Amino acid sequence: MRIVLARHGETTANAERRFQGILDCPLNEVGRRQAEELACVIARYKPGKIFTSDLIRSIETAKPAARLLQISPVADPVFREYSWGILEGLTLQEAQDRYPEIFHVSFADLRRLEIPLQEQLADFRTRVKKGLSLLLSHDNYETVALIGHGRYLNALVVEFLGLDFNGPWPFVFASAAVCVLEAKGGRRRLLSFNEHYSRQGE
* 82-104 pLDDT per residue, tens: 999 999 999 999 999 999 988 87
Q: Where are the beta strands (DSSP E) in 45-138?
A: 49-52, 74-75
Query: Which residues touch 19 (CB under 8 Å, ≥6 apart)?
Result: 84, 87, 88, 89, 90, 91, 92, 95
Q: What are phi and psi of 113, to 5 degrees?
A: -85, 145
Among residues 10, 60, 81, 195, the one annotated as catalytic is 81
**Confidence band, pLDDT 50/70/90 cuts, at residue 4:** very high
Q: Is 36 a catalytic residue?
A: no
Within-domain flag for 9: yes
Among residues 8, 10, 60, 88, the one annotated as catalytic is 8
Last residue of a domain, one of 118, 137, 161: 118
Last residue of a domain, one of 68, 100, 118: 118
Say how far apart CA 188 and CA 158 lie, in whole Å: 11
Looking up residue 130, the CATH number of its domain turns out to be 3.40.50.1240
| This model's pTM is above 0.85 | yes
C-beta of residue 158 within 8 angstroms of C-beta of residue 129: no
Within-domain flag for 114: yes
Least confident of 7-16, 102-111, 160-169: 102-111
> Based on the domain organization, do 138 and 150 belong to the same domain?
yes
**Angle made by CA atoms 68, 74, 75, in degrees to the nearest 5:** 120
> Based on the domain organization, do 7 and 94 belong to the same domain?
no
Number of C-beta neighbours around residue 112 at 10 A: 10
> Based on the domain organization, do 72 and 162 belong to the same domain?
yes
Structural domains counted in the chain: 2
> Based on the domain organization, do 128 and 79 belong to the same domain?
yes
* 11-32 pLDDT per residue, tens: 999 999 999 999 999 999 999 9
Say which amino acid occupies 72.
Answer: S
In this prediction, residues 106-122 reach a mean pLDDT of: 83
Within-domain flag for 202: no
Say how far apart CA 90 and CA 188 lie, in whole Å: 37
Give kind and range of the element (H or E) at residue 159. Answer: helix 150-161
Q: Provide the residue range defining the domain that includes 61.
A: 2-83+119-195
> Based on the domain organization, do 79 and 100 belong to the same domain?
no
Q: Is 101 a catalytic residue?
A: no
